[in-house]
Amino acid sequence: MKKILWNIDPVVMLASIIMVFLFSCRNEPESMLSQGHYYTEEEAREVIENLRQVYTNAGEWESRAGSIRELLLKGSGLDVMPEKTPLNPVIGEPRVYEGYQVKNVAFESLPGVYVTGSLYSPVGLPQGIPGILSPHGHWTRPENYGRYRDDAQNRFATMARMGAVVLAYDMVGYGQMAELGWEHHHPEALKLQMWNNLRALDFLLDLGADPERIASTGASGGATQTFLHTAIDDRVKVSVPVVQVSAHFFGGCVCESGMPIHRSPDIQTNNVEIAAMAAPRPLLLISVGGDWTKNTPEVEYPHVKYIYELLGNADMVENVHFADEDHGYEYSKRAAVYPFLARHLDLDITLIQDPDGSFDESPNVIEDKTALYPFDDNNPLPSHAILHNDEVKWE
């Protein structure tokens, strides 16, 4: 069984005294990594129940959240941030469709490190409109993963038709850059991905997005990036992680749990607390019966809401649970997300709504993946571009 480590902080000293190690140590040397199905479901329930005694008021939670943020930054190697160098954006010509446009884009998160993506917006990209970041999850077929998927393109286009500028960007080692040499399963994938999230928001803001109306939403591994980014960056005003926040499952990829962001010798946390660091900002948890979020209505969501209640903002957090559905970001999940984003970003939901209240995605055009490549004959890859993870210079 695993040893549960709690933050030792004067603010929560009394609560810490009553806490005990819930589980004995394994015989093998302990790792600071918390990966995959780290707890059983029952262990996770006990962890969550005991956390309520660690913080019983707003001050105690804020102290705990500050310690978790330090853990995230130190564990990912971002406690000392690199210099924010020029983004040097590459922006292709718009392809105009009914109610929105698409541009292929790329930017340098670090010198020579190009993040590739697609930019969806109302035609003409008006200034001062809400911005939505959309990191993606893990899929096995290169022709149908990430921002290329039909469900992803439908989501981006529909949000743009509501009046937002949406940046859909590739994870490290995905998309066009994967074909050029980048690897996703790399020891520092988590560090670079977290940094790319920060720079993706810089890119959106440079384009003129309203800094007070910024959201992030993704599914699975993209949800992990959403709640990690929200936890360390107060500029994200609305967080919608889809089918990922779990008390017992910590993510199965190096980009989610391959560095010690959940545990140090002094503190141990989990993705429920990390997701709750969005508080008091609006947070929507989407969960399903067919994956590791199956217990969300009884375990994860009540604890997150408890934290929001401590801060006096219980109305800012919601959970929509699909007991009979599986992992994904299908129409049913999108239909739950659209109204939440419209309400908190001041988007015009009537632009996508049919008279019966359903959402019309029929104007959306699903493009071939090669049409979404930012680098082509008109926009060649710069000669100084880095083509492998090991070439990254962080200083």
Percent of the chain predicted with pLDDT > 70: 92
Q: Is the dihedral of CA 360, 221, 290, 300 positive or negative?
A: negative
Mean of per-residue pLDDT scores for the chain? 91
Give CATH for domain 125-363.
3.40.50.1820
Closest CA to 155 of 356, 359, 321, 368: 359
The pLDDT tens digits of the residues spanning 293-347 come to 999 999 999 999 999 999 999 999 999 999 999 999 999 999 999 999 999 999 9
**Is the backbone peptide bond immediately before 280 cis, with ω within 30 degrees of 0?**
yes
The residues, ordered by sequence, that sit 6+ positions from 175 with a Cβ below 8 Å of its Cβ are 116, 117, 146, 147, 148, 373
- Kindly list the averaged pLDDT for each block of 10 residues, start to end, along the chain of length 395: 44 34 36 90 97 97 98 96 96 97 97 96 96 90 84 97 97 86 88 97 98 97 97 98 97 90 94 98 98 98 98 98 96 98 98 96 96 92 92 87
Closest CA to 4 of 307, 265, 296: 265
Dihedrals φ, ψ of 268, to 5°? -135, 130
DSSP structure string for 75-133: HTT-SSPPP------EE---EEETTEEEEEEEEEEETTEEEEEEEEESTT--TT--EEE
Domain segments of the chain as ranges:
125-363
